[in-house]
Amino acid sequence: MEYATLRDVGQTDSGTPRRRAKYGMALFAAVFSVLYLYYFTEVHRAGTMLGVKGFLEAALLGIPLVVLYSGTAWVSLTRYDEDLLPRLLRWTAGAAVVFAVLVTATMFVIGTRFDPGERFLVIQMSSGFGSAAGLLIGAMEVRANHVGRERARTELTAERRKHERERMEYLNHLLRHEVLNGIAIVRGTAGILIEDVDDPTATRRLRTIHDRSDEVAVFIQQVRTLLQDPTDVDPGSVDLAALIDGEVESVVAGFEVGAVRTDVPDDVQVVGNDLLGRVFTNLMENGIRHNDPPVTLEVTAVVGPDHADVSVLDDGDGIDPEDEEQLFSYPTGGDHGFGLSLSRDLVQRYGGDLRLERTDETGTEFVVTIPRAAGATGEGGPTEPDEPTAARTTVDPQGQATGS
Q: Which pLDDT value is given to residue 4?
A: 40
Enumerate the domain spans of the chain: 1-230, 237-403
Residue 310: pLDDT band (50, 70, 90) is: very high
Residue 211 pLDDT > 90: no
Residue 145 pLDDT > 80: yes
- For residues 132-150, give the mean pLDDT: 84
> Which are the contacts of 264, defined by CB distance < 8 A and separation ≥ 6?
240, 241, 244, 245, 299, 300, 301, 310, 391, 393
**Average pLDDT taken over every residue of the chain:** 77
Name the phi and psi angles at 272, rounded to 5.
150, -170
37-41, 141-145, 150-154, 175-179: least confident range:
37-41
Give the model confidence (pLDDT) of 268-286 as tens digits: 999 988 788 889 998 998 8
Q: Which pLDDT value is given to residue 383?
A: 37
Residue 380 pLDDT > 50: no
Residue 143 pLDDT > 60: yes
Q: Regarding the domain delimited by 237-403, which CATH topology (the fold level of the hierarchy) does it fall under?
A: Heat Shock Protein 90 (3.30.565)
Give the model confidence (pLDDT) of 288-300 as tens digits: 888 888 899 999 9
Residue 311, class by beta-carbon neighbours within 10 Å (0-12 exposed, 13-18 middle, 19+ buried)? middle
72-86, 313-327, 341-355, 378-392: least confident range:
378-392
Give the model confidence (pLDDT) of 240-271 as tens digits: 999 999 999 988 887 888 889 999 999 999 99
**R_g (Cα) of the chain, nearest Å:** 35
**Residue 232 identity:** D
pTM value > 0.85: no
Residue 358 pLDDT > 90: yes
Peptide bond just before 397 cis, omega within 30 deg: no
Residue 302: pLDDT band (50, 70, 90) is: very high
Give the whole-angstrom CA distance, residue 207 versus residue 197: 11
Give the model confidence (pLDDT) of 18-77 as tens digits: 677 667 777 767 777 776 776 666 655 655 544 556 566 666 777 777 777 777 777 777
Helix, strand, or coil here: 51?
A: coil
Q: Which pLDDT value is given to residue 215?
A: 75
What does the DSSP assignment read for 366-383? EEEEEEBP---EETTEEP
Q: Which pLDDT value is given to residue 91?
A: 83
The candidate with the shortest Cα–Cα distance to 252, out of 206, 285, 211, is 285
- Strands 296-303 and 259-263 come out as parallel
Give the model confidence (pLDDT) of 86-110 as tens digits: 787 788 778 888 887 887 787 777 7
Q: Higher-confidence residue: 363 or 33?
A: 363
Terminus-to-terminus CA distance in the chain, angstroms?
A: 65
DSSP letter at 384 equals P
